[in-house]
Structures are given as C-alpha cells and as structure tokens.
Structure 1
C-alpha cells in the first residue's frame, strides 16, 4: 500500500501510475451473491453445469461485479492520511474487454488522470483503473473512476 500525507501530495502525481492492488480471487459464491443482489441470474453466471457447455467453458463474473471491485482496489492500494472521506462520484469510459471465469484472480492498476479542487476542501480525482486477470495479457475491464476526497 502506498501512503500519501495530503491530497496535494497525491495530486502532484497526475499522469502517473500510482499503485497496483493485491490480487482478488473471484468465487462462485461471490458471483451468486452478486446475482442475488442485482437480480441478474443469467445462466452464464450462476448455472455451473450449463455454463460448461457455453461460450466461455465455465461460469463467469458479471461485468458489473468486476466493475464493483474498483473501490476495493483503490482502498487496498493507497491511503491518504489527511482524507477523512472518499465518495464515489461516477464512472467514465467503461469497457469490458474479456470475460472473467470463476476462479480468476484480478487486480487493479491505478493511474491518476486528473485532480481538481472542489467545494468543502475536497478534491475530485479521476482514476484510470485497468483491471487485469492473472495470465491474460490484456485487461478484462478499463474504466475511469471519479472519486471525491475530503480532508
């Protein structure tokens, strides 16, 4: 984990890769819980037997489950000592480029694209998050995540 004392210290690194998260393993239980939470019970996600004969040869994580790991990747990769609060503000340019079979290990590669002051002593940071699957040369998902940090 990388630690920054101030928002300004981190803001000075716009344009640079800041951190790479630890690996996270996708489990069938996690996929099933996500399906229950969202109502998306498509067989490619939850029917193990049917999915074996499907286009991916196994069940796969929902794209939105993969996307929902971004806060975990950020939180486990960097710490801003003076920030008392971080709030998801939105997403830009989300793309799902490859499936994530259950059992895959994922991690986030975090690049700070922008840092702009906002009201109440905050900073809005735009992060490019490239979600990598172990053993695959291209990312499975790339998104711009907008996070508002307040000191």
Structure 2
C-alpha cells in the first residue's frame, strides 16, 4: 500500500474517520528483545531466557516486552504516512492503550492506523490516531490504542 502524503491541517482533515493504512511486517527477534532489555534495564526471564521461558513460561517461548512493541510505533508509523512541509513532530500522548496479546519471539507485527480526529491548535495540528499492532496469523492484536501526535508545519 502506498503511503499517504500530508502537508497541512487540511490534508489531515480529509482523512478523519478513515483508515490511513498499514505498515510492512516487522519480525521481532531475540536479539532485539535482548537489546531492549539492556536499554530499559528490564531483564525479566520471560523476555531474555529462552530455555527457562520454554520450560516454565506460559507462552512456550520468550515474549517481547509490551513497551518494546509500543516503541516500534515511530518506525512503523513512518511506513504509513509521509509528512511534507514539516518543521517538527512530537509524540504528545497516549489516550488509551491495551496490551491484548503477547508477541512471541520471531512473530511478525505491523501497524494498522485510522485517523480518529485532528484539531488545529493555532497552527499546530493535534492528530489522534487509532492504532492496532497486528500479529501475523493471529486474530487478536498485540495492542490497541489512541496515540496523539503534534505536527508543527513550516509557515
């Protein structure tokens, strides 16, 4: 699917209530999980100890940290939308977020996005985006939520 190109508040406004698209799939490897554990100082064995996770864990293998899956949003979001005329973009907030299903090591995930709303705040565009992180060949997503971004366009 081709990226949507946005260059202004008016461009965003046209997509309110519509699907914006989906990213490519990204495979989550044990190496990525381990690097995230180091970066966040979260070495819980369900993430970092494959042997123990296979023997004692509820999932039969290691799983990605929930926040690792969330941290993929900027990378995957960039595959869905291209913004022209941009001075700066800020991750502003999360209105809601539910982790619905664990992502096992080597699962592939992709971002599915729908524009909930946009508001023009004196030249800054506040975009509220319904997101779902889909797991390949699974019915339930890894998470669902509403993410809020601020887009500052060039004058």
Interval containing the TM-score (normalised by the shorter chain): over 0.9
> Structure 1 residue 98 and structure 2 residue 86: aligned?
no
Q: What is aligned with 1:76? A: 79
Tell me the TM-score normalised to structure 1 length. Answer: 0.95
Q: What is aligned with 1:48? A: 50
Deviating above 2 A after TM superposition, structure 1's stretches of 4 or more consecutive aligned residues are 4-7
Asked if the contact 1:117–1:124 (Cα under 8 Å) also holds between the matched residues in 2, the reply is yes
Q: What is aligned with 2:141? A: 139
Q: Which 10-residue stretch deviates more, 78-87 or 54-63?
A: 78-87
Per-residue deviation at 1:11? 1.9
Q: What is aligned with 1:116? A: 119
Q: How many positions carry a matched residue from both structures?
A: 150
Q: Which runs of 5+ in 1 are unaligned?
A: none
Counterpart CA distance in 2 for 1:116 and 1:5 is 15
Candidates 43, 53, 69, aligned match of 1:66: 69
Q: Which runs of 5+ in 2 are unaligned?
A: none
1:49-74 residue CA offsets vs partner (Å, 9 max, x unmatched): 00112110000000011111111121
Counterpart CA distance in 1 for 2:68 and 2:7 is 31
Q: What is aligned with 2:129? A: 127
> Alignment partner of 2:109: what SS?
strand
Tell me the TM-score normalised to structure 2 length. Answer: 0.92
Asked if the contact 1:7–1:83 (Cα under 8 Å) also holds between the matched residues in 2, the reply is no
Q: Which 10-residue stretch deviates more, 13-22 or 79-88?
A: 79-88
